[in-house]
Amino acid sequence: MEKKIIPVVGMACSACSANVEKKLNSLHGIGKASVSLTGRQAMVEYDPEVITLEQMKMEISNIGYDMVIEKDRSAEEIEKRGLSQLKRRMILSWVFSALCMAVSMGWIFTGFHAGKNQIALIIALANMWWCGRQFYVSAWKQLWHGTANMDTLVALSTAIAFVFSAFNTFWGDTVWGSRGIEWHTYFDASVMIITFVLTGKWLEEKAKDSTAGSIKELMGMQPKTARIVNKDGELEEVPISTIAKGDVIEVRAGEKIPVDGEVKSAESFMTLDAAYVDEGMITGEPTPVAKRKGDRVLAGTIPNQGKLRMRAREIGEQTALGQIIRTVQEAQNSKAPVQRIVDKAALVFVPIVAGLALATFIVWWIVGGNAALPQAVLSAVAVLVIACPCAMGLATPTALMVGMGKAAERHILIKDAAALENLRKVDAIVIDKTGTLTLPNLNVDFTKSEQLPLEDRETLKPHAREAVKALHHQGIEVHMMSGDQEEAARYWAEKTGILHYESKVAPSDKEKKVRELQAQGRTVAMIGDGVNDTQALALADVGIAIGKGTDVAMDVAQVTLMGDDLQTIPDAIHLSRNTVKMIWQNLFWAFIYNIVCIPLAAGVLYLFGINFQITPMWASALMALSSISVVANSLRLRYMK
């Protein structure tokens, strides 16, 4: 099985992403597919011998969406072009709205009073064709394949309002006037619904772009071009995509290193055999590192003194930066358990709303008196328009996307949404000592170390004591596990403020400690850096690896700290708590919005003698506002300390 992240274009709401995910998971050869609305991507595990990317693209295209699998097509460019087109359609729709309103209110064409409905009809039809055509195309494709989404509700509501108004324009006097019933047209409602929905979609897309800001910053760390040494020994600037393993590249001070590689030669004004490279964007460490012949350098890092020549070893997605970007993307595409419930609700939401609209129509037709049919139509249209699966669908992924991106900015890599959710529940931490809490003194012989004072054998990692204090403040119990002697274990526990510690432990003892705490009902995080920690890392509710540790530890762990600053541990837990709190806030307001607004649009207050009902135009404005408010609320995470 191969795993691939594929951009998906054309998704407008949670019902869209749920439909794409359902379709992909139904295809033979796909083991698992997860689709992110905010990330606009599908994460697919598939067997390339059974199904190809081209076949997936065709199946998704059939239900109205597009998968970008071609190398010469950029999802970002497609989305940018789509956003530009959306903006033009929105502006044009506002022009049509102003014209239609002016005609309906009699502000213009006052000499054509008898024909103003016909003029409004033409304006509404032009708006539906040039500005709202995508809603009807999408709705038809969804209907053809037995599915529905937000476009279905918009298409249905505007079509009903338009057809009813067109009927009244040509036969209103004959059918209603002859019975003494006053009739009206609602072309302005049809136009304004499209206008407000387009405006809401444009504002929502702009806001969603902001939620993806962190991943864009990571991608921005990759240079577009590099300077290679060609066959003639001359320097030649080439696109980064053309670099192959083994190419020799020259990088000067202030330029970004394009790929991972090995230093061939280096120099600076301080020394002739080393260049100083700022790796802070990867590790979070502020001090530039001296790089000499044979040393490894990473893509995205920057020499701030001198220049170096390097041989490319890892390129593209195989670089450390590429793997970080992929980890963050996969994490942002992953789904919290609550999101799976919302996705199931999204699949039935539109049919349920259509059913409620039909019920509203029937009730008003029965009890509406002389104006029964117009009231029934307008009430049904308002119900169709005001219902918003978008707000529910955006509640979880927008908060997760911002939360995961914020973590990446702090050099914390979280593998999936479940890990982020579990972090907030942690109330006990088991932490390895050497390499995790402390750094060994590499200048000491480990055969003569017993003769040295304890403080000379090892040094505490940055902010270790502050991190432990912050964890205690968060209500988390910290247990230090060390294979060292009792005296050394006690010394470093006291030095960091850890109250619980064990000495002379074997790797299996760390696992036993995790089991022991879990048996007490605790949610346990294990923090380690070596092979001897992997058993405990795998068993813990959340495994946290130190980025400078072994690859196997990082593979097992759900969270990786890229630097040595242990303050990122309480930061990660604090961020987890804020993110999950934001998810529940979003879900609460999204559900409350639908629970309150749908009955108000249906006119339920008339039952209690209150003459109030949300009109179709206000319904479309409120629907757009609900989606924007959820995204805006999630964006608050970016500015939390």
Least confident of 391-400, 567-576, 601-610: 391-400
Express each pLDDT in 356-393 by its tens digit.
Answer: 999 999 999 998 777 788 889 889 999 988 887 777 77
What does each C-alpha distance from 539 to 306, 424, 512, 533 come to in angstroms?
46, 18, 10, 10
CA distance 232 to 403: 49
Query: Domains along the chain?
Result: 2-76 (3.30.70.100), 222-318 (2.70.150.10), 412-564 (3.40.50.1000)
Supply the pLDDT for residue 285.
67
pLDDT band at residue 523 under the 50/70/90 scheme: very high
Picking from 223, 241, 248, 245, the residue whose alpha carbon sits closest to that of residue 309 is: 248
Residue range 553-559: mean pLDDT, rounded: 75
- For residue 488, the one-letter residue type is A
Name the active-site residue from 247, 260, 432, 565: 432
pLDDT band at residue 76 under the 50/70/90 scheme: confident
User: pLDDT over 90 for what percent of the chain?
Assistant: 37
Supply the pLDDT for residue 112.
56
Q: Return the SS3 of 585.
A: helix
Q: Is the pLDDT of residue 312 over 70?
A: yes
pLDDT band at residue 220 under the 50/70/90 scheme: confident
Express each pLDDT in 236-247 by its tens digit.
Answer: 999 988 899 999
Residue range 100-110: mean pLDDT, rounded: 76
List helix spans (H) across 111-186: 116-130, 133-144, 150-175
Annotation says 432 is catalytic: yes
Q: Return the SS3 of 477.
A: strand
Mean pLDDT of the chain: 85
Q: Is the pLDDT of residue 502 over 70?
A: yes
Supply the pLDDT for residue 21.
92
- For residue 623, the one-letter residue type is M
Q: Is the pLDDT of residue 258 over 70?
A: yes
| DSSP-assigned beta bridge partners for residue 477 | 428
Which residue would you say has higher pLDDT here, 605 or 201?
605
Supply the pLDDT for residue 361.
94
Q: Is the pLDDT of residue 179 over 60?
A: yes
